[in-house]
Amino acid sequence: QKKIDLACHFIKAYAFNLNESNSRIKDFDEISRWCRENKINLYLNLMAENYQFADSLVGKDLVFLMRQNRDFLVKRYTRDNCKVVDNLEAVEGKDFIDVEWTTEHYRYKGRMRIAKNLATQLKDQFKNAYKEVY
């Protein structure tokens, strides 16, 4: 039953196609427009999701939708003053702490991977403050 509940939650959270008419996309468009008009750099962080677990519970079609939505967001918002940090598949399934719900709770290795990806995207804007850490 726990796996069925989790599979249903994955479906509710990710089984849809993003498009221009989606209300959240309209919100992000407005944020992006405002930032562009005010010459503010905008960074959107697509958080890692346990796509490996989603695949094992629901199947490849759900992972296809997750990737398709990611691709839509990256294409739509990677421009001018906006950068999209694509972390959707940055964390391996074994590096998720919670495997009983969809979550962004990662083990140390997963957190470090997300942080490094964000830092890499931010380093151009903050050249003087950026330091490579191993």
The whole-angstrom separation of Cα 91 and Cα 76 is: 23
Residue 131, pLDDT score: 76
Helices (H), 1-134: 2-14, 23-37, 51-57, 60-77, 108-122
Q: Which of 47, 67, 51 is nearest to 59 (CA)?
A: 51
Q: Are 87 and 71 in contact (CB under 8 A)?
A: no
Q: What is the pLDDT of residues 11-69, one digit of tens each?
A: 998 999 999 999 999 999 999 999 999 999 999 999 999 988 889 888 999 999 999 99
Q: What is the pLDDT of residues 76-118, one digit of tens each?
A: 999 878 999 999 999 998 888 876 677 778 889 999 999 999 9
The reported pTM is 0.86
Q: Which of 57, 53, 113, 121 is nearest to 85 (CA)?
A: 121
The whole-angstrom separation of Cα 134 and Cα 129 is: 16
Residue 134, pLDDT score: 61
